[in-house]
Amino acid sequence: MVIQLVFEPHDDLSIMIKSTHQVTIPQPIDKVMELFKNQEYFKDWQKGLVSFKNLSTVAGEQGSKRSMKIKAAGTTITMLEEITAIDLPHLWEATYRTNGVLNKQSNRFHEKVIKQGDHIQKVTIWDSTAIFTFSGMMRIIAKGRPPQIFTAQTHQHMEDFKTFASTM
């Protein structure tokens, strides 16, 4: 995991934290996508997810939105998710908004074949970039905290998904 703290020089009212993460999931990409897209499984790998509500007629497509309630840091946060780009099985991007925080997530997937002797296994490499932008009071709070407080959840969700997918 790489974490980079960036203060935007052109904008004195916000700060940005960027992190990148990678996990290898021991399943072929088709199976990973089947599990990743299925809303019924969200609570199995998104720790802290209390509930979600689709706000769009068709869920899971570019432009679709959902309201999500997440338990984090001892409180429940309501955020709005909007899928901003989708080209599965290789790309899935979304923004998450709540008071003073904008989180842009870019997720890229690719399949790799691993050979060990006569054994061949297909695995999926999941690369994720998270960019958090803080404004207002959250700007002050974010400046006083280690960046990992905000970025660790992204990596944890990825590890939890890997564990979940490995059992399916």
Question: How many CB atoms sit inside 10 A of residue 80's CB?
Answer: 13
> What is the arithmetic mean of pLDDT over 31-41?
96
Residues 5-41 as b/e (b if ≥16 CB within 10 A, e otherwise) read: eeeeeeeeebbbbbbbbebebebbbeebbebbeeeeb
Structure tokens at 12: 């004195």
pLDDT tier, 72 (very low <50, low <70, confident <90, very high otherwise): confident
Question: Do 9 and 108 contact (CB within 8 A), yes or no?
Answer: no
Instruction: Confirm whether 142 is domain-assigned.
Output: yes
Instruction: Confirm whether 155 is domain-assigned.
Output: yes
pTM: 0.89
> What is the arithmetic mean of pLDDT over 134-142?
82
CATH number at residue 148: 3.30.530
Instruction: Confirm whether 75 is domain-assigned.
Output: no
CA–CA distance, 41 with 167 (Å, rounded to integer): 13
Number of domains in the chain: 1
pLDDT digits (tens, 9 = 90+) for 118-127: 999 999 999 9
Instruction: Confirm whether 79 is domain-assigned.
Output: no
- In 3-state terms the chain splits into helix, strand, coil percentages (rounded to 5) of 25, 50, 25
Residues 44-55 as b/e (b if ≥16 CB within 10 A, e otherwise) read: bbbebeeebeee
Instruction: Confirm whether 80 is domain-assigned.
Output: no
Looking at the predicted structure, is the pLDDT value of residue 4 above 80?
A: no
- Residue 96: the pLDDT is 96
Q: Which domain holds residue 11?
A: 2-48+88-166
Instruction: Confirm whether 107 is domain-assigned.
Output: yes
- What percent of the chain stands above pLDDT 90? 67
Q: Strand, helix or coil at 100?
A: coil
Instruction: Confirm whether 8 is domain-assigned.
Output: yes
The rounded mean pLDDT for the chain is 89
Instruction: Confirm whether 32 is domain-assigned.
Output: yes
